[in-house]
């Protein structure tokens, strides 16, 4: 931990907190930080949201929920949050609403949506068939007349005695069309109700960059009260004393980690073909990786969090990786160093 505000960065003993800790494998790049909110700037064409900067990242916030000076918790971009926290705060999206704590409130609506879809599909098929039969109807076709009368009697009131079958069939047709619109309206209302009870995190709990009103928003801000819904013990923590602290573990349980896209399993063709062999080979290589054996890009501390360590006389190295290029290789052959670039970068 570094003391800020002096001309030179002074290394001091890190203050540990029993509630928030950084695990042995945690990194500054993919963790949570206790932060104080700075100025909330307006966004053109948006009255309810604004933008601020947290750990060097632009993030969009609601003006009625986040104010300048607030102390909050910030999860870095491309991290994965604990499912228990997301479920306790009903943050999972509609597609996995069952993971939310209020899932019972949406089960009835979800069932009604599915049954409504079936009703709409069946009614549309009936409308299509009825429309076709009305156009091709012939009064001498007794079988068709009987079918039309059965449809009419199930959908509208019919007078006693004889009546004009086609007129009543058209009336039944309009009522069926109206019923489809009514069911669709009910489905939309129930979907809206489910959405109002859900959040925007997918089943993996990934924190990703999004754009709101054209403004990039990276990371996720949340309050101590929200965290306490998952771990009630944290409610007594004094965040004012922990501003700037990085952590990935809450009350001894890993809370946040780097998001790693799941590996899609390739279906086996049962013949052990070339693609299947390559997939097994790649998986075997992947499984050989030992945690901590190699340094990856996310092991490097982010610049935005460490600007205070760079002084006017600091010597730095700047490198740039161009997309589509590979590293340059040098090999020694018969005592002579040779440059080898297997793919030319223009």
Burial of 157 (0-12, 13-18, 19+ CB in 10 A): exposed
Q: Does residue 61 sit in helix, strand or coil?
A: strand
* CA 117 centroid distance within chain: 26
At 245 the pLDDT is 93
What would the two tokens of residue 178 be?
A: 């109206």
Element (H, E) at 276: helix 274-287
Question: pLDDT by residue (tens digit) across 62-79?
Answer: 999 999 999 999 999 999
What pLDDT, on a 0 to 100 scale, did the predictor assign at position 9?
Answer: 43
Q: Which residues in 278-291 are b (16+ Cβ under 10 Å) and which e?
A: ebeeeeeeeeeeee
CB atoms under 10 Å from CB of 14, counted, come to 10
Q: What's the average pLDDT block by block, 10 residues per block, for the chain (346 residues)? A: 41 58 90 95 92 92 94 95 97 94 94 96 95 88 89 85 87 94 96 95 94 92 96 93 94 94 65 62 61 62 72 77 59 54 48
pLDDT at residue 317 in the model: 74
CA distance 183 to 196: 20
Residue 291: predicted pLDDT? 63
pLDDT at site 206: 96
């Amino acid at each position: 931990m570094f003391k800020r505000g002096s001309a030179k960065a002074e290394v001091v003993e890190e203050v540990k907190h029993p509630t928030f800790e950084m695990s042995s494998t945690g990194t500054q790049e993919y963790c949570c930080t206790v932060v104080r909110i700075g100025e909330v700037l307006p966004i053109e064409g948006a009255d309810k949201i604004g933008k601020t900067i947290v750990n060097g990242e632009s993030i969009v916030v609601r003006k009625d929920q986040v104010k300048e000076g607030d102390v909050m918790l910030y999860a870095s971009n491309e991290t994965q949050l604990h499912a228990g926290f997301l479920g306790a705060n009903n943050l999972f999206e509609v597609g996995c609403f069952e993971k939310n704590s209020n899932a019972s409130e949406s089960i009835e609506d979800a069932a009604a949506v599915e049954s409504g879809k079936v009703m709409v599909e069946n009614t549309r098929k009936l409308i299509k068939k009825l429309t076709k039969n009305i156009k091709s109807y012939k009064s001498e076709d007794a079988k068709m007349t009987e079918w039309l009368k059965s449809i009419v009697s199930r959908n509208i009131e019919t007078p006693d005695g004889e009546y004009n079958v086609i007129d009543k069939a058209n009336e039944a047709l309009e009522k069926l069309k109206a019923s489809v619109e009514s069911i669709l309206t009910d489905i939309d209302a129930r979907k809206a109700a489910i959405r109002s009870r859900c959040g925007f995190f997918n089943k993996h709990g990934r924190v990703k960059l999004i754009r709101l009103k054209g403004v990039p928003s990276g990371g996720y801000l949340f309050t101590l009260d929200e965290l306490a819904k998952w771990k009630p013990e944290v409610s007594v923590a004094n965040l004012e004393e922990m501003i700037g602290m990085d952590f990935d573990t809450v009350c001894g349980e890993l809370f946040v980690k780097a998001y790693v896209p799941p590996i899609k399993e390739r279906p086996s063709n049962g013949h052990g073909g070339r693609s299947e062999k390559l997939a097994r080979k790649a998986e075997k290589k992947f499984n050989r990786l030992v945690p901590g054996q190699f340094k990856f890009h996310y092991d490097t501390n982010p610049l935005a969090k460490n600007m205070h360590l760079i002084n006017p006389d600091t010597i730095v190295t700047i490198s740039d990786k161009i997309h589509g290029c590979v590293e340059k290789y040098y090999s020694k052959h018969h005592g002579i160093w040779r440059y080898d670039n297997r793919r030319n970068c223009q």
